[in-house]
Amino acid sequence: MENIDRSLIDAHLKGNAMAFGEIVRRYGDNVLGYLIYMTGNKEQADDLFQETFKRVHVKAHTFRGGQFKPWLFKIATRVTIDHARRSRRIKLLSLNQNSDCNNHNDEKMGAMAAVDWHNPPGEIIKNEQIEQVRQAIQSLPEKQRATVVLAYYQQLSYPEVAQVMGCTTGTVKTQMFRALRTLAKRLPDTRAT
């Protein structure tokens, strides 16, 4: 797999547009899923997806071989962190701002209120639990969230996560421990159900 990725990067650097398309095809779904988990917002994730592959296109010459997936996710993580920093600087919220109950932008509330009569009760409970886990992961600090998503959902090893995050494997283990401890406190115990 490493040889295929390396040959695709080499072909891309030589001007083969189809090679870059193959890279996006091979890794696009994983990157988009990661970005959705990191941002909690599909539209934002789509934008960051574009930015990630734009950077991959521009920085392809910096790929030195080895494993491509950690290199790619390092770029996606950096794009996500950069975006979060920019958003914090731009986003200002007035404490005197009234909540607009007629605001139709919150489709999620309507979707939560709607009952899907086609799903059996067990499926509804499962979907609610999945949403609770997603929200709990979304509430983690950025580094802990990235560690959990990379290790569990993208199935990267701890050394690969460390490569993506630019830290040691020990730091990854510490971040994972803290994240799992926080998730254990925030998520209800579902073993009894």
pLDDT, position 74? 92
Quick check: 114 pLDDT over 50?
Answer: no
Do you know the residue count of the chain? 193
User: Within a domain: residue 108?
Assistant: no
- Both 54 and 122 in one domain: the answer is no
- Both 71 and 148 in one domain: the answer is no
pLDDT, position 66? 80
Residue 174's pLDDT band (boundaries 50, 70, 90)? very high
User: Within a domain: residue 96?
Assistant: no
pLDDT, position 75? 94
Residue 106's pLDDT band (boundaries 50, 70, 90)? very low
- Both 4 and 73 in one domain: the answer is yes
Q: Which domain holds residue 125?
A: 117-188
Most confident range, picked from 63-72, 80-89, 120-129: 63-72
pLDDT, position 1? 63
Domain end marker among 38, 73, 89: 89
- Both 24 and 82 in one domain: the answer is yes
Q: Kindly state the DSSP code that residue 61 receives in the 8-state scheme.
A: G
pLDDT, position 25? 94
CB atoms within 10 A of CB 22: 17
Separation CA 186–CA 115 (nearest Å): 25
The C-alpha angle with vertex 183 and arms to 179 and 184, in degrees rounded to 5, equals: 120
User: Within a domain: residue 101?
Assistant: no
pLDDT more than 90, % of the chain: 38
Burial class (CB in 10 A: 0-12, 13-18, 19+), 11: middle
For residue 46, what is the domain's CATH number? 1.10.1740.10
User: Within a domain: residue 122?
Assistant: yes
pLDDT, position 186? 84
pLDDT more than 70, % of the chain: 77
Residue 169's pLDDT band (boundaries 50, 70, 90)? very high
Separation CA 168–CA 171 (nearest Å): 5
Check residues 178 and 110 and name the one with the higher pLDDT. Answer: 178
pLDDT, position 64? 84
Residue 32's pLDDT band (boundaries 50, 70, 90)? very high
> By mean pLDDT, which of 90-94, 134-138, 169-173 is the weakest?
90-94
For residue 178, what is the domain's CATH number? 1.10.10.10
- Both 182 and 125 in one domain: the answer is yes
**Quick one: tokens of 27?**
């890794």
Q: Kindly state the DSSP code that residue 141 receives in the 8-state scheme.
A: -
User: Within a domain: residue 12?
Assistant: yes
pLDDT, position 82? 86
Quick check: 24 pLDDT over 60?
Answer: yes
- Both 77 and 127 in one domain: the answer is no
- Both 10 and 74 in one domain: the answer is yes
- Both 71 and 144 in one domain: the answer is no
User: Within a domain: residue 110?
Assistant: no
User: Within a domain: residue 20?
Assistant: yes
User: Within a domain: residue 128?
Assistant: yes
Number of compact structural domains in the chain: 2
- Both 83 and 144 in one domain: the answer is no
Q: Residue by residue, what is the 3-state secondary structure of 81-118?
A: HHHHHHHHHHCCCCCCCCCCCCCCCCHHHHHHHCCCCC
- Both 80 and 149 in one domain: the answer is no
**What's the pTM value of the predicted model, to 2 decimals?**
0.65
- Both 11 and 72 in one domain: the answer is yes
